[in-house]
Structures are given as structure tokens and as C-alpha cells.
Chain A
Amino acid sequence: MGKVVSMKEAISKYVTSGSLIFIGGMQHGEPFAAVHEILRQKIDHIHMVGCLVTSLSLLIGEGRVDKVYTGYYGQDINRAFWLSRAREMGKYPEFIEYSHFGIAQALLAGQMGIGFIPIRSQSGSDMLKYNPNITVTDDPFTGEKIGAVKAIVPDVGILHVQRCDAEGNAQRWGTLGVDAEGINASRTVIITTEKIVDSEVIRRDPNLTIIPGYRVSAVVEQPWGAHPLHLAGHYLGDWPGLLAELGSEDGYDTYMNACVYGVKDFNEFLEVRKTMKGESYFDRLKIQPIPSEPVFHGYMEVER
């Protein structure tokens, strides 16, 4: 059971100040519980890579982020007070901007273990003037122009999944955003999971495994670990509610104090939320899951 640890242990052991962190979940099943723990442990000078990561705003608002490698982020300082707060602290992060496909392919190059990857998009965009990691080069075979994006290799990747065994064989489904590239590109991997399952469950449907156990350093069981975002087959999200709450400075402060710093872990956060939002809040987010048709992977020799 060496890899199965508490969230506190996983984050303190593998996420250090100055790390380049990949956060999985492109508006789907983000590792929110892990981000809360990063905030609680006051890890700073973070370099972050990911797409549409909602919890990034919490890290920025607390002044913990130096650099963001991404394709899209609401940077209108008039509408996102956490940015002006970061600026006041002198902690406004540097944004290194790509297209979404650019980020995905930078991470894929990282996963593939090569220095760059050719890409048709981004070329001709003014993004190239400000981002030294994208350029235009010559196709060595045709001599024609082709874009190129430099590999990104995160120091640590964090992905929330539906199920994972104690060895770290992690299975995730639904939309995958940049999850497969990002987590496989990462040198050190932390998996947070709704449930730790028997390895037998994994081996009966191994096509679902997004990263094999030997690449994973830590496994943390955390039910509702992506809340307030949704997770396929498990629960609905309250993304609009969260944005409305964090949209006001009072709401943001209350969230940070009562839900992040004021609790010892995510389970306590879930209890606090019941008090804040009412008992029925989580009932409204529960779903009646519909099973998929079983697929047949396994076999036994037929008696002849």
C-alpha cells in the first residue's frame, strides 16, 4: 500500500515551490481537492500548465503562481478581482499563450519524449511574437513552412479519475481534454480518485487506463474530489454557482477562509459546504448513473 497516501502527504511530498505543475481536467473533473491542499500548504512560485482550469484563479488570487502556460484565461482585470489582488501583491503571473491545440501538442511532445512537434495552427499569429516556445520552421521533406511547438514536461502532474487501484493504474472516462497528454508527460504523477478499486476491476477493462501504475507515485482516495466541477458517471457540477460565488471579493474571501484555510481536509470542506449551501445541495448534484453495455475483454479456454 506504499502509494496510497493522504492528500496532505501526496502534496507535501511531491509538489514543491517552483514546480511546473500540470493540472488535469478541462472543465471536467478537475482535481479540486488537490488544489485546495496546495493552497493550504502555501506552496508558491508555481508554474502551471493546463487548459480551462477553474481552480487556477484561486492559486493566482493567493499570489502563488509565477507562470501560466495556457490557451485561454479570463485576464480582464476589471472582471476578475483576484488578478488585481495578485497585481497588488506584485504576484501577477506571466502568461505564456498558445492555442488550445498548441498546449495539447506541447504536452504530447513531452509525453513522446521529443523536443518539439510540428503543428499547422498558431503560425502567423501574433502569439509567436510573445511566446518563444512556438515558431515556424521548414518541413524537412517538402521544404514547405510548418509550425512547431516546443515540448512541455511538467515536474508533477495531478489528475482526478473515477477509479484507480492501489498501484496507481488509473482509469478515467468522459471528455479527456488534455488529460492523457498532460499526465503522461509529467515526470511525477499524483492520482486522486473517487474510489480505490481492486486491481481485478482495472484488468477487466484495461483500455480505460489512462496511465499505468508504474508511472504513478501517489494515489489519494477522495470522493467528490472534483467538486464543484462535474465528473462523468458520478456527479453534476456547480460551475456557474462557483463562479458567481468567487466573482465577488466577499464571496471569494469567505470561500478561501471557510472552505480552504479553515478546514483540515477536503472531507471537512464537504461538510462545511453542506452547512453553507444547505443539506440538499449535494443531493441536487447526485445523478442516477446509467451503465454502459459491458464489453468483453477477458476469456477462458473453451473446453473441447
Chain B
Amino acid sequence: MNRQPLLNYDANDQMIVSAAHLIRNGEASYIGVGLPMVAALLAKRTHAAKATIVIENGIVRTEEFELPQGTDTLGTQFRADKLAGLSYISYLGQAGFISLGFIGAGQIDRYGNVNDTVIGDYHNPVHRFPGSGGANDVVTFCQRTCIILNQSKRRFPERVDFNTCPGYFDGKPGRREALGMRKGTGPVAVVTDLGCYEFENGEMILTSVHAGCGITVDKVKAETGWDLKISPKLKETIPPTAEEIEILRTVAAPLLERRRRTDMETK
């Protein structure tokens, strides 16, 4: 495959392409709305044609579909393999039958805890996010949860103000299991527009930087709210192929544009 760096992609494209790489062919994936959905559709049209996509409203499908603006459209329903309700989808996860979860996040901290609720005081917030939706369920249930978000110091605090979707709490072992969560669940990867991360002993570590977009480790550290651990095996992020960028452009362009505008407003 052609892995030559291209000129015509940016860090947002890299983020989605890197996220898509985390989806394995044939895997059942609980996919959140927005960037996770873009990544999943890209994966399905490239290396993971046999991935099963699970959407919270009650959709289980293996056939491709057009990127929806919300979670549910006639297009996401039509030609699904199974339509049911939200509970059925969550039962699949709660019983351990969805291996991969893919969500966005308002904020994420050092130990993979996700804040989708509030920055500042709960009753007198500095910023209000919309709330958990299905995200708490995804992070609780799935064996591997991947989180995708644009990175800034504000969105990468050492500890989240509000723990909407617990990752590894304070990093001490066994915290999840003590609350009834299945062993071997939790966040395993974070992908941002600056780099890719994994978890080691419950703590987020940087495993690759988007060097092809001019991102440096110093830039990553500057946008991280704690003393970030760097993997000894740190790599340059695998750049997108021409095919991936082409598919991303045609399939996801409208959402990507909306997303960029929103990020410009919030950053």
C-alpha cells in the first residue's frame, strides 16, 4: 500500500484515519455519533469491510450506509441486520458481546476518565456538555474502548471535573472490578489531532505523534494538562494513504466541515 506522506491532509484527517485503523475486520463495534461514526465508515470502506456496526438507537448492521447527522435516520435503519431498541443494544454490551467501543468526549484525563457533563461546578458550570448519552454504557461494557477528540490543554486535564464515564479512576488496579464492571474492560486507546495514546497500568501514554502534520512531542506536551508519559517505543503516526484520504473526503466531508467549524468556536 502507498504510505507516502501526502500534502493534502491535515491533523483532523490524520485523527480520523488513525481512529479507523483501530477497528478490526469482523469485529462488532459500538459506535458513537460524530467522529467515531466517520472513522467506522472509513474503516468499513477500507480494511474492515466485515465490521459490524452497532448504534445505540437499536441498530445492528453490516452493510455500509451514508453518514447520518444524528444517530438515527432512515438511511441508518434501512437494510440493517437487526433493528431493536436501546436496551437490546446495551444488553449485548452488558453481557460482554461487543468487543470495541468508539466514542467522542468532552474531556479526558490522565487515567482515561471521560467528562461529558460539566466543567466547573455542577450547579454553576463554566461549560456544560450534553451528558453521557450512551458513552458511560460503552466505556463500562466494551473490552476495548477507543476515544477520539481534538486535543487541547482544556480538554486534557490531569483530573476531570466530572467523571461521567469512568476509565481507571486514579489508576490503582481493581477499581473497575470493585464496582461490578467486567474484568478486562475499559479505555485502551485515545486518538487526537496531535497523537495516539494507549494505557499502561491505567495511565495514558503517548505512543505516536502526527509528525506528518508537523506535530512534535513538545506540542503534544503543551496541550496536555499533566506530566505526560512518553512510550519508549514512540513512533511517528502512520500517515493516511491516498485511498483513505479520498474516501474520507467523499464520505465524511460534510461532517468534518461542521466539526472543524465547531472546534474553531470552542478552542
Q: Does A127 contact B180, Cβ atoms closer than 8 Å? A: no
Interface flags for A126-153 (1: CB within 8 Å of B; 0: not) read 1101100000100100001111000000
The answer, yes or no, to whether B71 is at the interface (CB within 8 Å) is: yes
Pair B117/A126 contact, Cβ less than 8 Å: yes
A27 with B72, Cβ < 8 A, contacts A101-B137, A122-B136 known: yes
Question: Are A72 and B133 in contact, CB atoms less than 8 angstroms apart?
Answer: yes
Q: How far is the CB of A291 from chain B (nearest CB, A)?
A: 13
Q: Is B25 part of the contact surface with A, judged by Cβ < 8 Å? A: no
Residues of A near B137 (CB, < 8 A) are: 99-102, 121
Write out the residue numbers on chain B whose beta carbons fall within 8 Å of the beta carbon of A122. 136, 140
A12 at the interface (CB under 8 A from B): no
- Of A123, A126, A180, A232, the residue contacting B77 (CB under 8 A) is A232
By a CB distance below 8 angstroms, the chain A residues around B69 are 239-240
Instruction: Please give, as numbers and ranges, the residues of chain A lying within 8 Å of B73 by CB-CB distance.
Output: 230, 236-237
Q: How far is the CA of A236 from the CA of B73 in the complex (A)?
A: 8
CA distance A264 to B70 in the complex (A): 31
Which of A98, A126, A287 interacts with B74 by CB under 8 Å?
A287
Are A176 and B180 neighbours in the complex by a CB distance under 8 Å? no
Contact B85 A177 (CB under 8 A): yes
Does chain A have a CB within 8 A of B249?
A: no
Is B140's CB under 8 angstroms from A73's CB? no
Of B86, B164, B178, which is within 8 A of A100 by CB? B86
Given contacts A27-B70, A72-B132, whether A179 and B77 have CB atoms under 8 Å apart is no
Those of B112-166 within 8 Å (CB) of chain A: 117, 122, 127-137, 140-141, 162-166
The CA of A145 and the CA of B180, in the complex, are separated in Å by 5
How many interface residues does chain A have, given as a range? 35 or more
Please state if A125 and B134 are interface contacts (CB–CB under 8 Å). Answer: no
Q: Is B197 an interface position by the 8 A CB rule? A: no
**B58 contact set on A, CB distance < 8 A:** 175-177
Interface presence of A105 (CB below 8 A):
yes
By a CB distance below 8 angstroms, the chain A residues around B178 are 145
Residue of B nearest to A76 (CB): B128
Bound-complex Cα distance A74 to B129 (A):
7
Whether the Cβ atoms of B117 and A97 lie closer than 8 Å is: yes
- Docked-complex contact B176 and A124, CB < 8 angstroms: yes
Chain A residue numbers with a CB within 8 Å of B56 are 100
The main secondary structure of chain A at its interface with chain B is: loop
B1 within 8 A of A: no
Question: A100-B133, A101-B90 given as contacts; is B85 within 8 A of A176 (CB)?
Answer: yes
Pick the residue among A73, A75, A178 that contacts B87 (CB under 8 A): A178
Report the minimum CB–CB distance from A253 to chain B (whole Å). Answer: 24
Q: Does B235 contact A (CB under 8 A)?
A: no
The interface residues of chain B lying within 8 Å CB-to-CB of A237 are: 73-74
- The reply to whether A124 and B163 form a contact with Cβ atoms under 8 Å apart is yes
Q: How far is the CA of A102 from the CA of B133 in the complex (A)?
A: 9
Question: Do B130 and A75 touch (CB < 8 A)?
Answer: yes
Are the CB atoms of B132 and A99 closer together than 8 Å?
yes
Is the Cβ of A101 less than 8 Å from the Cβ of B128? no
* A7 contacts chain B at the CB level, 8 A cutoff: no
Give every chain B residue within 8 A of A179 (Cβ-Cβ). Answer: 85
Residues of B within 8 A of A136 (CB): 179-180
User: A101 is contacted by which of B70, B77, B122, B134 (Cβ under 8 Å)?
Assistant: B134
Q: Report A29 CB to chain B, min CB distance, Å.
A: 9
Residue of B83, B117, B135, B180 near A146 (CB, 8 A) is B180
Q: Is the CB of B57 closer than 8 A to any CB of chain A?
A: yes
Q: Chain A 233-252, CB within 8 Å of chain B: the 1/0 string?
A: 00011011000000000000
Which of B74, B131, B133 meets A75, CB within 8 Å? Answer: B131
Residues of B near A173 (CB, < 8 A) are: 83
Residue of A nearest to B133 (CB): A72
Contact B131 A174 (CB under 8 A): no
Q: Are B85 and A180 in contact (CB under 8 A)?
A: yes
Q: A52-B71, A123-B140, A123-B181 are in contact. Are A175 and B85 (CB under 8 A)?
A: yes
Interface residues of A in 42-81 (CB under 8 A from B): 51-52, 70-77
Q: List 5 A-B contacts (CB under 8 A).
A: A75-B130, A76-B128, A99-B137, A139-B180, A175-B59
The 8 tightest CB contacts between A and B, nearest first, are A176-B85, A72-B133, A99-B136, A101-B90, A121-B140, A75-B128, A124-B166, A27-B72
A: residues with CB less than 8 A from B are 26-28, 51-52, 70-77, 95, 97-102, 104-105, 108, 119-127, 129-130, 136, 139, 144-147, 173-181, 230, 232, 236-237, 239-240, 287
